[in-house]
Structure formats: C-alpha cells, structure tokens
Structure 1
C-alpha cells in the first residue's frame, strides 16, 4: 500500500524516505494525542463519579473509584517511565 508505514521508508512510494519518516512520526504523535485525550476523558468521568459518590455519602463507591484512579495513574506513570526505542538508542550512542 502506498504510504504504508509498515512497508518501510520510501518502499513502493514516490515520496523520499524523509517524508515517510515525517508521516510516521506525525501518525505516532496523533495516536499519542488521541490516547491522551481518551485517558483524560476517562479520568474526568471517574473523578465526576467520585465527587458524586462523596456528595451522596456512598463511601464504598468512593473508595472503589479512588482505587481505580490511583491504579490508572500508576499505569500511566509506568508507561511513561518506559523509554522509547529512539530514546534508548540516544542513550547508547557515544557522545562526541
């Protein structure tokens, strides 16, 4: 497929390899932003539920929602702590 990032840089396209790299980077960035927006929406929904549970004195529900929020934040932190392949390559390359 023309322009398919899985096909490799410039493979089967009329675009230079640098243009394919840019489009792959743009696609990854867009996916990152979409995932971040979804997570913010999920967190906002959980937080609203937590506020309602507290307001209505549903302490068991509030405790469950608090734990879910903490778990979500732990998962995000762990995900962000994992280096990308590009950053791990930079860390291994000798400095001039």
Structure 2
C-alpha cells in the first residue's frame, strides 16, 4: 500500500528503518512556494476552480479567505487538491 503512494524505505538519523515520501509528494507547508502548489486555475461566470498539489488545497483556501471580500474573495470550499471559489458579483463584471 505504501509503495502505491511512492513511499520508500530508508534509514533515519537513529539508523531505524522508516518509510518516506519523495519531496514532491510530501505534505505542503506554509514555506512551500505557491508556484509549486497551484497546478491549474479555471473559471466561468459563477465559480473559480483551483487545482493544487495533493494536500495543498486547504492551505491555499485559507490564504484566499484571509484576503477577504475587499480583494474579491466571497468564500472558498477546499478539498484535498481542489478549491471552489465563488467571487462576489461585482468581481465578475
């Protein structure tokens, strides 16, 4: 099961055998560059869909929500790797 996610066995600092994920599959952090986390953005008249690397959607959605309505963020819904953003009506014009 772990190999399905790309995990490999390696030794840690205490020389114990542990499983590790490759860096590109690791959990994103606040120090991860945004350009590495946001993969694609698509939109229509009602919604903006943002595709992120796995596990990054909630981090990006929280950042967007912190910008607030003044910056065109009415609200977001985040899953694991997808964000739905509904812009205020004024932002669509």
Determine which structure has the larger strand proportion and give its number: 2
TM-score normalised per structure 1:
0.23
Instruction: Determine which structure has greater relative contact order: mean sequence separation of CA pairs < 8 Å that are 6+ residues apart, divided by chain length.
Output: 2
Larger proportion of helix: 1
> TM-score, normalised on structure 2?
0.23
